[in-house]
Amino acid sequence: MRRPCASLFLSFVTASSLFALTAHAADIPATSAIDGVIVFPQGAEVRRVTKVKIPAGTHTLIIPDLPAQAQAASIRVEGKATGRLEIGSVDSRSLSVPRGDAEAAASARRRIEAEIEKMRDERAGIVAEQQAGEAQRTYLTNLLQLPNRPAPAAGAAAGEDWGKVLDLVAKQLAPVNKAIIEAGIRVREVDRRIRDAEGRLRAEAPAAETRVEVKVDVAAAQPVEAEITIRYQVSGASWQPVYDARLATGTKAAAPRIAITRRAIVQQRTGEAWSNVAMALSTTRPSAGTSAPDLRPLTVDYPPDRPPPQAAMPAPMTRSAPVAGAVMDEMSNFRGRADNAVANAKEEVAVTQQAQVEAGAFQAVYTILGRQTVEPNGDPRRLQIDESELETTLTVRAVPRVDERAFLYAKLTVPRATPWLPGQVSLFRDGTFVGNGRVPQLAPGQDHELGFGPDDRIRVKASTIDEKRAESGIISSTKTETKNYRMTLKSLHERPIAFVVHDQIPVSNNQEIKVELIAKPQPTKRDIEDKRGVLAWEDKLAPDEEKTIDLGWRLSWPAAKSIMYGR
């Protein structure tokens, strides 16, 4: 928790005591910038900071740049100032605002509008030329009608030489028609350019987007400079862990080791870019509900003599709705320590550093060193959390009668510091990628085994010794069936290695069918994972050692009946 500073003092009071001052209230617009983010497995808490100068008196800070996803119930305001500053009520509302740089958009619109006006003037000039050509063509066409007029009266002057007139009209009409057609083509071209420009003009219109505006009532006894912090939660963000498990199987002189690298995949679609922000990852789930399901009485009774119109059903179990703004006291403590840790840390590339871990009774917070950028387009960003090298114990598992291969497993213990969340793990054995697996939810100190694929240094073989049926008895005859198998394992490792062999015997679903186990040596475990008939042999193989397991069973049942195997 931060210690109060003599020059920085902030108190929170109720609205009634806050505005006892008689100074005239004024609205003070303030723009904020994202300074830090705490990402949850689902959702995130964003921290915005704004610096303002507040005159003496009562005022309202107007901060209009929160995203539409900001949950109103989660908004919290705090701050520090160069003098006494009191914060009263905090209100929020949604509003539509133009998207982008309005001034730049207006300038671009003015350029396009001037371009369109110039093109329209050009079009008007072409249309005028086209109309002049149409008038000239009409005049020439009218000349072609003159020969149809009545002949002149007797004694009148001789008429026109119509041949010369027709030749003149023919020579003049062709270029006029050509000029009219070319003018029409130019008009269509200008119209196309105008349409394109109008489309660009519409695109330059600032689109509206929904934002959340926060109003904060403040009172200052004297002019102060303040740094106001706004915290709120958003739903369009998440992080999930991914793991690298690198197994060194060891040598005769070196014990096996396993290195676990934990990374986080962070994604967000919150409508705002997280650019150069301090980032922490929390295991808390604010939206996962706060209470256990509530059970209502479930009754039983005789049915009524005449059924009611609608039969009443038992009330289902209900789960309490998530509380959007619930933040635990411990979360606040973690948040403050995470802010201090990031502020004091040197800016270094996060993927090459270990995250600082704050582990508590109910959550863990990983503070990523350096400042990060995550775009709001949903693209994943990988951040390294930590890396640890752990001791491990190697075991091979085999089911010889199903698959004549042994599979290598590495057992590890989760460090006591923090839990491991479920996620995909990339598996490397002696520097070679062998496949992918999955890590479940693991508590600190819990043991877990990771499979690393087939182990070629273990030779596995299964064979059938005998299978036979017989019938005995005279009055009450009984049928028997006996099966015997042999499984062998040989180690080519330089060090001793533990092994587990799994197999099974039939399980009777009828008391008349008897099952007798024949095994040498006897299995060390039976009914593995509550699966009836599943057996396990556990032991160790020394270098170049071979061990044999014989497994069989004898079934007996009444001869008058037949049996069948099933699963």
Could you count the other beta carbons within 10 Å of the beta carbon of residue 356? 17
Question: What is the enclosing helix (H) or strand (E) of 359?
Answer: strand 356-359
Q: What tokens appear for 370 in the block?
A: 């350096």
- For position 350, what pLDDT does the model report? 36
- Distance (Å, whole) CA 478 – CA 556: 7
- For position 477, what pLDDT does the model report? 86
> Which residues fall within 8 angstroms of residue 72, CB to CB, at 6 or more apart?
92, 212, 324, 325
- For position 474, what pLDDT does the model report? 63
CA torsion 555-558-562-566 (nearest 10°) is -40
The strand pairing partners of 234, in sequence order, are 44
3-class SS letters over 502-516: EEECCCCCCCCCEEE
Q: What tokens appear for 37 in the block?
A: 């983010």
- For position 106, what pLDDT does the model report? 72
pTM: 0.62
Could you count the other beta carbons within 10 Å of the beta carbon of residue 71? 18
- For position 103, what pLDDT does the model report? 64
Report residue 395: phi and psi, to 5°. Answer: -140, 145
- pLDDT tens track of the chain, all 567 residues? 344 443 333 443 333 344 444 445 688 999 999 999 999 999 999 999 999 999 999 999 999 989 999 999 999 999 899 999 999 999 999 887 666 566 666 788 888 889 999 999 999 999 988 888 888 888 777 776 666 655 555 554 455 666 676 777 777 788 888 888 888 899 999 999 999 988 888 877 666 678 899 999 999 989 999 999 999 999 999 999 999 999 999 888 889 999 999 999 999 999 899 999 999 999 888 765 667 777 777 777 767 776 555 544 444 433 333 333 333 444 445 455 445 544 444 444 333 456 665 555 456 888 888 899 999 999 999 999 989 899 999 999 999 999 999 999 999 999 887 888 899 999 999 999 999 999 999 988 999 999 999 999 999 999 999 999 887 766 668 899 999 999 999 999 989 999 999 999 999 988 889 999 999 999 999 999 889 999 999 999 999 999 999 999 999 998 888 888 887
Q: How many residues does the chain have?
A: 567
